[in-house]
Amino acid sequence: MAAAYIQDETEFNTLLETELVFVVDCTATWCGPCKLIAPLIDQLAQEYGDRAKVLKLDLDANQPIAKRFGIRSIPAVMLFQQGELVETIVGAKPYEEFSNAVAKYLA
């Protein structure tokens, strides 16, 4: 099961309000390192799907969200807890770094 894409800012804002733990992979079709971590984000969605919402966000289509959170380089994986940005992991990292981060906010 692959992580789905957030369609727009309205959906993003709804998820912020409703999800306890919400993970957003900020990506773009032209970004090489983003393609490297895409399968890891899908794996994260599978592993934590019942406890956390794991989604992808195409920054080219959602510039306002990138500006709002000061995303300057991608891939950037943002973790939200109860609507608050608690951590941002920038760059291609090993799966453990993403899964440990998610697990920390589920505890």
β 53-58/76-81 pair status: unpaired
Q: Catalytic pick from 31, 44, 74, 102?
A: 31
Active site annotation includes 26: no
- Strand stretches in the chain, DSSP E: 21-27, 53-58, 76-81, 84-90
Do 55 and 25 form a contact (C-beta atoms < 8 A)?
Answer: yes
Q: Catalytic pick from 34, 40, 54, 102?
A: 34
For 67, counting Cβ atoms within 10 Å of its Cβ (0-12 exposed, 13-18 middle, 19+ buried), the class is: exposed
**Positions marked active-site:** 31, 34
